[in-house]
Structure 1
Amino acid sequence: MQAPPSPPEGCISCEQRGELLLIGINRPAKYNGFTPRMFRELGEAYTRLDDDPQLRVGVLHAFGPHFTAGLDLPTIAPLMRSGEKAIPPGLVEPMDLGTSGYRRRTKPMVVAVKGITYTLGIELMLAADVVVAADDCRFSQLEVKRGIMATGGATLRMAQRAGLGNALLHLLTGDEFGAAEALRLNFVQKLVPAGQELGEALRIAEAIAAQAPLAVVATRLNALKSVEAGPIAAMREFIAVQQRLSHTEDAAEGVRSFVEKRSARFSGR
């Protein structure tokens, strides 16, 4: 996909394709290194996904040969020293950490990664729902090599996905590892030949978008609650959520489509 023009500090380029929002990291001349502007626009894009009723699934991708080399430290370091946030409060937080003053995403996010996928790139994909990786991916969570700590979720989610020992192997050495290792550690869900990652991510996103939107959101949030708060907390919601969903127009359409032996046409109501 051809990169739209971008300013020197980079930008986030959005494209709506039907019910999908393609969110493109756009600073290929600088390995898509994130500046404060890019953080702000990423938060705005995630918020647009959640707030627009016509949108059902987000697809995060990058222009150029690489996903992102991570932070543009010269522009981000002053914010880190002051404790300021690059993303304005009140927006959806792309890292989905539940930080005070920020919203958590409700709609699904599929990510296509390729080439260099360092630090923030790993944290963005771990904060998403489904990750498709090109087989040329190079991953590294190298904050310890810069005298800082990963604070975008890597210390939480790498251990959650791969076990503490596997997580610390990469967190404490800052080493570079490949796509096969990322798949083994459950950091990504699918590997494809380089150049096919966005197409496969779009295929998965379209399959999700074809399902009942309210049921998709409820299913995602319940699975997330099970991971974060435990299975008992998630099970306590089963009856109430199922009662609410069963009274929707989409549930009635699901029954009709089953009886009529056709694909369902869901409205999100």
Structure 2
Amino acid sequence: MDTPEAPPEGTIHTERRGALLLVGINRPAKYNGFTPRMFRELGEAYSLLDDDPELRVGVLHAFGKHFTAGLDLPTIAPLMRRGEKAIPEGCVEPTDLGSPGYRRRTKPMVVAVKGITYTLGIELMLAADVVVAADDCRFSQLEVKRGIMATGGATLRMAERAGVGNAMLHLLTGDEFGSAEALRLNFVQKVVPAGQELDEALRIAEAIAAQAPLAVVATRKSVLKTVEQGPAAAVAEFVEVQTRLSNTEDAAEGVRSFVERRPARFTGR
């Protein structure tokens, strides 16, 4: 994919491909380090995905050789010292933490990572739903090396995915590890040869987009509720959710397609 022209402070490039929204991190000259502008535009892109009924799945990727080196500290540090956020309130929060004033994403996000994937890069992929990693990835949650703490979800999700010991190993040393270790720790779901990560992410996103949108959103929400609130909270909603889904046009289409032995044509209604 050709790299679109970007200003010095970087940008987030969006592209529609049918029901997919490709969200591209675009500041390759600076290893895709995030500036306030890029944070703002990322929140706007995630909000677009959720708000546009024609879009079903997001694909986060990066231009250049690397996913992101993380924060551009000279531009972000002043905001951090003031306790301010670069993402406008009311937007979908890309790190999906449920912070006051921000929305949580409802539609699926697939991420393709490659090369240097530091700090915020790890937190963005852990906040997504499916991650495809190139085999040349270099991961590091190195905030402790800069005198700060990871606050985009790594301290929560690393332990949930890989256990407390594995989380402490990488969070407290800030060491660098590769794609095989990330796969072992359940931080990524697939590892592919470098250069194939975006194609594989798009393939997965297309497969998700072909399913019934309301059922996909409900299924994703149930999984997250189980992780965050426990199985009982998710089970308590099973009957209500299934009743609602069973009365949709998509559920009727699912039955018809089964009887007629053809692929279903879901509309999200």
TM range (shorter): over 0.9
1:136-147 correspondence runs (5 A): 136-147=136-147
Aligned to 1:200: 200
CA distance in 2, matches of 1:170, 1:245: 41
Q: 2:26 is matched by which residue type in structure 1?
A: N
Matched, 1:113 2:113: yes
Which residue of the partner structure matches residue 42 of structure 2? 42
For residues 37-76 of structure 1, give each alpha carbon's deviation from its aligned partner in whole angstroms, at most 9, with x where no partner exists. 0000000000000000000000000000000000000000
Give 1:266's aligned residue: 266
Residue 39 of structure 2 aligns to a residue whose secondary structure is helix
Secondary structure at the aligned position of 2:59 is classed as strand
Which residue in 1 is equivalent to 2:122? 122
Once residues 237 and 94 of structure 2 are traced to their aligned partners in structure 1, the CA distance between those partners, rounded to angstroms, is 25
Residues 188-234 of structure 1 deviation map (CA, whole Å, 9 limit, x = unaligned) = 00000000000000000000000000000000000000000000000
SS in 2 for 1:144: helix
Map 1:25-104; keep pairs closer than 5 Å. Answer: 25-104=25-104
Separation of aligned partners in 1, 2:2 and 2:163: 38
Q: Which residue of 1 aligns with 2:212?
A: 212
Measured in 1, the distance between the counterparts of 2:38 and 2:32 equals 9
Task: Map 1:176-191; keep pairs closer than 5 Å.
Answer: 176-191=176-191
Distance (Å, rounded) in 2 between the aligned partners of 1:84 and 1:72: 15
Classify the secondary structure of the residue corresponding to 1:70: coil
Correspondence for 2:4: 4
Q: Per-residue displacement from partner, 1:137-196 (whole Å, max 9, x unpaired)?
A: 000000000000000000000000000000000000000000000000000000000000
What 5-or-longer segments of structure 2 have no aligned partner? Answer: none
In 2: Cα distance, 1:123 partner to 1:241 partner = 30
Moved over 2 A (4+): none
Structure 1 length-normalised TM: 1.00
> Residue type matched to 2:156 in 1?
L
> Corresponding residue for 2:135?
135
Q: Percent identity?
A: 85
Amino acid across the alignment from 1:240: E
> What is the one-letter code of the residue matched to 1:74?
P
3-state SS in 2 of match to 1:176? coil
**Residue 2 (structure 1) shift:** 1.0
Instruction: Write the letter of the residue equivalent to 2:186.
Output: N
* Cα distance in structure 2, aligned partners of 1:261 and 1:174: 53
Please tell me whether residue 19 in structure 1 is matched to residue 19 in structure 2: yes
Within 1, Cα distance between the matches of 2:84 and 2:179?
33
Superposed CA offset, 1:82-108 (max 9, x none):
001100000000000000000000000
- Matching residue's letter, 1:230: G
Write the distance in 2 (CA, Å) between the matches of 1:221 and 1:85.
26
Q: CA deviation at 1:8?
A: 0.2
TM-score by length of 2: 1.00
Superposed displacement of residue 260, structure 1: 0.5
In 1, Cα distance between equivalents of 2:258 and 2:17: 28
SS in 2 for 1:148: coil
SS in 1 for 2:94: coil
Matched residue SS, 2:177? strand
Letter in 2 for 1:69: A
Matches of 2:84 and 2:118 in 1, distance apart?
22
Separation (CA, whole Å) in 1 of partners of 2:3 and 2:37: 17
1:170 maps to: 170
Counterpart secondary structure, 1:171: helix
Q: Tell me the distance in 2 between the aligned counterparts of 1:235 and 1:3.
A: 45
